[in-house]
Structure 1
Amino acid sequence: MINLTATFFGLGHLRPASGTWASLAAALLALLAMNQGFYWLVPVGAVLATLLGFWAVPLYLRGTSDTDPSEVVIDEVAGQWIALSFTAIPAMNHSLDIGLWWGAWPAWVAPFLLFRLFDIWKPWIIGQADRRHDAIGVMLDDILAGLFAGIGSVVLAGLYHAVLQPWLM
C-alpha cells in the first residue's frame, strides 16, 4: 500500500519525467471529474493526496539514502490537484463547463503548466522546502508549487477577463 500510494499506483515508474506523467494523470483525472460535474472531487482529492503523501513518503523513504526518489510522485499529484482546485472551485460555484479538451481549456492548461514550471524551477520558498532533503520537503515543495500555480492561474484569468477580453470585443 505504501508503494502504491507513493508511486501513485506505479505511475512513478514511467520514464522519462515521472513527475510530468503523474501531473498529467492527475490533471486528466481532475478533468474527468469536472466534466462529469464532480468539481468538488478535485479539492477533496488534493486534501486526500496530501494526507496520504505525508503518511506514505516517510515510510517509503525509510531505509534509503535517496531523499527524493523520482518514482515518488504522490507529491506531484497533490500539487497538481491543489493547482486545479483554483479552477474547480470557481467553476463549480458558477456552474461553468470546463470540458475535457474544448471550451474553457485555458482554465486547466494554465494551472497544469504553471505547476510544472514552479515544480521544476523551484523559486523562493519552493526551493527552500525542496532543500530540506526529507519527507516533509518532498511533499512541501509540491504543495507550495501547487499553491503558486493556482494563484498564478487566477491572476492570468483575471488579466484575461478584465484587460484582454474587453479589447478583443
Structure 2
Amino acid sequence: MNLARVIGTVMGVGYIKPAPGTWGSFVALPWAWLLHVLGGLPLLVLAIVAGFFKGWWATAKMTAGSTDHDPSEIVVDEVIGQWIALLPLSYAAWKMEISILAMWPGWIAAFLLFRFFDITKLGPVGWADRMNTSLGVMLDDVIAGLFAAIVVMILAALYHGVL
C-alpha cells in the first residue's frame, strides 16, 4: 500500500463497510482524545492543519486520472472534519484544565452533528463538494466540521445558561 493510500484511507479504515465515512469519523474520536491529552488544544490544531495538507495531497494522488473525485474509501477528510467539530471541547478542557472526557455529551453532539452536516451537504458544504477536486473533498468536511463546532458551542451555551 503506497503512502497516499495509507493517508487517504486512514490506514485502511476507509475500506470498512458499510458507511466508511462514519467509520472515519468514529476513528477520529480516540485520536482526538490522544492528541488533546498529549498536547492540548495546540497539538490538536497542529494535527488538523498538517492532516488537511497531507489529506489534500493524498486525495489528489488517489484520484489522479479517475472520474471519481471522492471515492468512498478516502476518509482522511472525515477525520479532519471530526477533529474540527471537537475543537470547542478541546478548547474548554484545555482552558479550564479539566478532562476532555468530562464533556462526554459534547463528544456525542460533535459526532452526530458532523455526520449530519457531512451527509446532508447543506449550503457551503455542498458547494465545496461540487468543486469535484481534491481540495473540495477536504473543504466540504472542514466546513461541515465548522458548522458542527458552532452548533456544539451553541448547545453548550444553552446547557450552561449562557444563552
* Distance in 2 (alpha carbons) for counterparts of 1:137 and 1:97: 34
- Partner of 1:38: helix, strand, or coil? helix
Tell me, which stretches of 5 or more residues in structure 1 are unaligned? 165-169
- 5+ residue gaps, structure 2, are none
Q: What is aligned with 1:49?
A: 51
- What is the one-letter code of the residue matched to 1:58? A
Alignment of 1:7-156 (within 5 A): 7-34=9-36, 36=37, 38-40=39-41, 41-99=43-101, 103-156=102-155
The Cα shift of 1:65 comes to 1.4
Normalised TM-score (structure 1)? 0.88
Distance of aligned partners of 1:37 and 1:8 in 2 relative to their CA distance in 1, 3 Å threshold: closer
Q: Which amino acid in the other structure matches residue 138 of structure 2?
A: M
Superposition deviation, residue 129 in structure 1: 0.8
CA contact (8 A) 2:20 2:75 kept: yes
**Deviation larger for 48-57 or 74-83:** 48-57
Q: How many angstroms apart in 2 are the aligned matches of 1:80 and 1:9? A: 17
How big is the alpha-carbon RMSD for the aligned residues of Structure 1 and Structure 2? Answer: 1.5
- Which amino acid is the alignment partner of residue 118 of structure 1? F
Query: Counterpart of 2:62 in 1: which secondary structure?
Result: helix
Contact kept, 8 Å, 1:42 with 1:84, in 2: the verdict is no
Runs of 4+ in 1 over 4 A off after TM superposition: none
SS at match of 2:100: coil
For 2:146, give the aligned amino acid. L
Give the superposition deviation at 1:31.
2.3
Q: Is the 8 A contact 1:57 1:72 kept in 2?
A: yes
2:51, 2:80 within 8 Å by CA — same for their partners in 1? yes
CA displacement at 1:64 relative to structure 2 = 1.3
Cα deviation digits, residues 76-99 of structure 1 (max 9, x gap): 011011111121022101112122
Aligned residues between the structures = 160
Q: Does structure 1 conserve the Cα–Cα contact (< 8 Å) formed by 2:89 and 2:103? A: no
Q: Percent identity?
A: 44
For the pair shown, the structure with the greater C-alpha radius of gyration is 1
